[in-house]
Amino acid sequence: MAFEKLDLDPLFAKIEELKPQFIDRLARAVAIPSVSGDELLRPRVVDMAHFLVSELENLGAHDIQLKDLGTQPPPVADASLQLPPIVLARFGADKSKKTVLVYGHYDVQPALKEDGWATEPFTMHHDEAAQILYGRGTTDDKGPVMGWLNVVEAHNALGLELPVNLVCCFEGMEESGSLGLDGLIAQEAQQYFLSVDTVCISDNYWLGTTKPVLTYGLRGCNYYQIAIKGPGADLHSGIFGGVIAEPMVDLVQVMAKLVDNKGKILIPGVDEMVAPLTEKEDALYDDIDFSVDELHAAAGSETGLYNNKKDILKHRWRYPSLSIHGVEGAFYGPGAKTVIPSRVVGKFSIRTVPDIDSAKLDKLVIEYVQKVFGELSSQNQLNVELIHDGAYWVSDPFNESFTAASKATEHVWNIKPDFTREGGSIPITLTFEQELKTQVLLLPMGRGDDGAHSINEKLNVSNYINGCKTLGGYLHYYGRQ
């Protein structure tokens, strides 16, 4: 539908003018290796929180708070390990204006140059020719978090009031299950977040590389570990091979029975919980702008399990998946270490969808793994447990927040966005919706080929800068409705 465009030219021109400063801000953020999943790097995650506080102070935020979440719950190696703080800040408290809570995360996934990065993962590389910014966290999620700061800076530089009150909520454990944030949101719902009218999260991606999207659904993520131990220490495989029960041999046999190589989950009872596909929902996939080629381009291989768009989208968005991630304690370095690991911990996760019940899923998983291990009649010991979980979220995108975002997107990109669901997870989304009793909008900045979590993660400069315009434009369209 046609809509009356707001005069955002001064704001957009200022964002363009400030581009060098915005790129520098992102480079300084990427340089902090805020890897929440690595206990040794936890102090750097806290450094990133303090970086944000400093930027927020310089931008004129008020009521800045670092909310302590205490120590990390088990399973964790160091029981005294502190959870990174939640960074809260406000810009404006004008009762005549609506209030938008913007959420993002300042932690990132691990990254090592030797994983295959072309550049140092924590030194942002600006490919001037291609106009691409490479580095861990550029698209997930430091680009979008800096995007919100950039929007404020552009308004400050123009002497232009923000059209809404802004409440910032930035966390440092999103990549590790958002541990501790649920409780804080419940605690602050009637306090710091009392005035919030809507929540905007920028922490996902376009489906492809050319068309902006707005997102109204996420899969959940239940993350498990299977620990198998036996020997008192790692052993020489020449001396003990063939005469001692090997934990790694048990583990690979158990994990092989979780999922087949066509993506079918082998745990009985999981598929039966999934909501049936209706004709109405099936029709939704027809008009989405995506292709098998785009999947293969983003994956860097033609190894897709499906040869058509609809099946790809359904299996990314509305069907569960089980992925095997790795084995802690196993040898993985260069060379040929001939050791029998005494304890190995297999890591896998299940992406959940409506109507999978998380507690029932845990029971199905744990009892199945115990049964499969029991059938090995192994002398080793097993422990299987959930590490963390996050609920799936599916919303109704026909509300004023999505309408404002659609107008802003069309204003900046001259095309109406597709409305999509996302295969990834943002554990805290449903909690925002339930505790603040408001709607949540996912307004992505980056592209589907950005390589989030992968090597050579990137953010195109055009997505970064036009993404700032889109975030700013959203605030204006939402504030004027």
Ligand X SMILES: NCC(=O)N[C@@H](Cc1c[nH]cn1)C(=O)O
Q: Is 449 annotated as a binding residue?
A: no
**Burial track 440-478 (b if 16+ CB lie within 10 A, e otherwise):** bbbbbbbbbbbbbebbbbbbbbebbbbbbbbbbbbbbbb
Q: Residues in the chain, how many?
A: 481
Q: Which of 84, 390, 467, 473 binds ligand X (CB under 6 A)?
A: 390
Q: Is 126 annotated as a binding residue?
A: no
CA contacts within 13 A on the Cβ side of 10: 10
Catalytic annotation present for 174: yes
On whether the CB atoms of residues 333 and 304 are closer than 8 A, the answer is no
Single out the segment in contact with ligand X by CB under 6 A; choices: 276-284, 318-326, 333-341, 418-426. 418-426
Q: Is 115 annotated as a binding residue?
A: no
**Burial track 143-168 (b if 16+ CB lie within 10 A, e otherwise):** bbbbbbbbbbbbbbeeeeebbbbbbb
Single out the segment in contact with Zn ion by CB under 5 A; choices: 200-208, 221-229, 265-273, 374-382. 200-208
Least separation, in Å, of the C-beta of 176 and ligand X?
Answer: 6
Q: Any contact of residue 463 with ligand X (CB under 6 A)? A: no
Q: Any contact of residue 450 with ligand X (CB under 6 A)? A: no
Main-chain dihedrals φ then ψ at residue 478, nearest 5 degrees: -70, -40
Q: Any contact of residue 294 with Zn ion (CB under 5 A)? A: no
* Binding partner of residue 473 among Zn ion, ligand X, none, CB cut-off 5 to 8 Å per kind: none
Q: Any contact of residue 188 with ligand X (CB under 6 A)? A: no
Q: Any contact of residue 171 with Zn ion (CB under 5 A)? A: no
Residue 190: both structure tokens together = 């009637």
Q: Which residues contact 94 (CB under 8 A, 6 or more apart)?
A: 165
Catalytic annotation present for 39: no
Q: Any contact of residue 418 with ligand X (CB under 6 A)? A: no
Residue 272 CB neighbours (<10 A): 8
Q: Which residues pair with 138 in a beta bridge?
A: none
Q: Any contact of residue 121 with ligand X (CB under 6 A)? A: no
Single out the segment in contact with ligand X by CB under 6 A; choices: 90-98, 206-214, 244-252, 419-427. 419-427
Q: Is 338 annotated as a binding residue?
A: yes
Q: Is 453 annotated as a binding residue?
A: yes
Q: Is 259 helix (H, G, I), strand (E, B) or coil?
A: strand
Residue 272: both structure tokens together = 């039966």
- Among 55, 107, 171, 188, the active-site one is 107
On whether the CB atoms of residues 85 and 66 are closer than 8 A, the answer is yes
* Binding partner of residue 177 among ligand X, Zn ion, none, CB cut-off 5 to 8 Å per kind: ligand X
What's the maximum distance between 2 C-alpha atoms anywhere in the chain?
Answer: 78
Binding interface with ligand X (CB under 6 A)? 140-141, 174-175, 177, 203-204, 221, 223, 390, 424-427, 452
Q: Which residues are annotated as a binding site for Mn(2+)?
A: 105, 140, 175, 203, 453
Q: Which residues are annotated as a binding site for substrate?
A: 203, 236, 338, 351, 425, 453
Q: Catalytic residue numbers?
A: 107, 174
Binding interface with Zn ion (CB under 5 A)? 140-141, 203
